[in-house]
Amino acid sequence: MEKKLKELLEKYSHTSRDSLIPILQDVHDELGYLSEESLSAIGKHLNVPTSKIYGLATFYNQFRFQPKGKNHIRVCHGSSCHLMGTVTLLEVIEKILKIKPGQTSRDGKFSLEVVSCVGACAQSPVISINGKPYGKLTTERLEQIIEEQSSIEPA
């Protein structure tokens, strides 16, 4: 992991604070989350206090601070999805997997993220698992999907 981080940061040599967000995004894409070590490494690289970087990262919705689960669930919480029952879907997910948004389940199989409108209001309520979208979801179908996903071991 350290090696990866080093390679990433080398791409951004001779840069100032301007590129802090792109760097964080690259690291986030690579690791799936922002670890403590990566934050301090970025701080050293840019000569910015780690506290400032942490402050910035927590401000934005994109960044998470726990590793992603093998199955990353994104739940759309736009106004249309809210009307069509996102809240119930979230309750179901929270109950089955025992995690809250932003968290990862203990076995590392699932992580949950609530996002604002994904723009597919015609298909609401919408969730996606590892990037694969599911539209017009019902609680029954959701339970089924979660069961399927937890039995498959993704590579």
Using CB under 8 A as the binding rule, whether residue 66 contacts another protein is answered as: no
Using CB under 8 A as the binding rule, whether residue 118 contacts another protein is answered as: yes
Do residues 24 and 63 touch, judged by C-beta distance below 8 A?
A: yes
Binding residues for another protein, total number by CB under 8 A: 36
CB-based contacts of 50, cutoff 8 Å, min separation 6: 39, 40, 43
Taking CA atoms, 60 is separated from 9, 52, 54, 126, in Å, by 21, 13, 10, 22
Using CB under 8 A as the binding rule, whether residue 133 contacts another protein is answered as: yes
Please identify, among the stretches 30-38, 64-72, 129-137, 143-151, the one whose residues bind another protein according to the rule CB under 8 A: 129-137
Give whichever of 109 and 115 is closer to another protein, judged by the CB atom: 115
N-term to C-term CA, the chain: 19
Using CB under 8 A as the binding rule, whether residue 70 contacts another protein is answered as: no
Using CB under 8 A as the binding rule, whether residue 122 contacts another protein is answered as: yes
Among 117, 143, 145, 149, binds another protein (CB under 8 A): 117
Among 60, 65, 147, 152, binds another protein (CB under 8 A): 60
Using CB under 8 A as the binding rule, whether residue 68 contacts another protein is answered as: no
Of 49, 31, 30, 32, the residue nearest 40 (C-alpha): 49
Q: Scanning residues 4 to 33, which ones bind another protein (CB under 8 A)? A: 16-22, 24-25
- What would the DSSP string read from start to end of 13-42? TT--GGGHHHHHHHHHHHHSS--HHHHHHH
Helix and strand counts by DSSP (H, E) for the chain: 7, 4
Structure tokens at 149: 């996903």
Using CB under 8 A as the binding rule, whether residue 78 contacts another protein is answered as: yes
Interface positions with another protein (CB under 8 A): 16-22, 24-25, 55-56, 59-63, 77-80, 82-83, 115-124, 126, 133-135
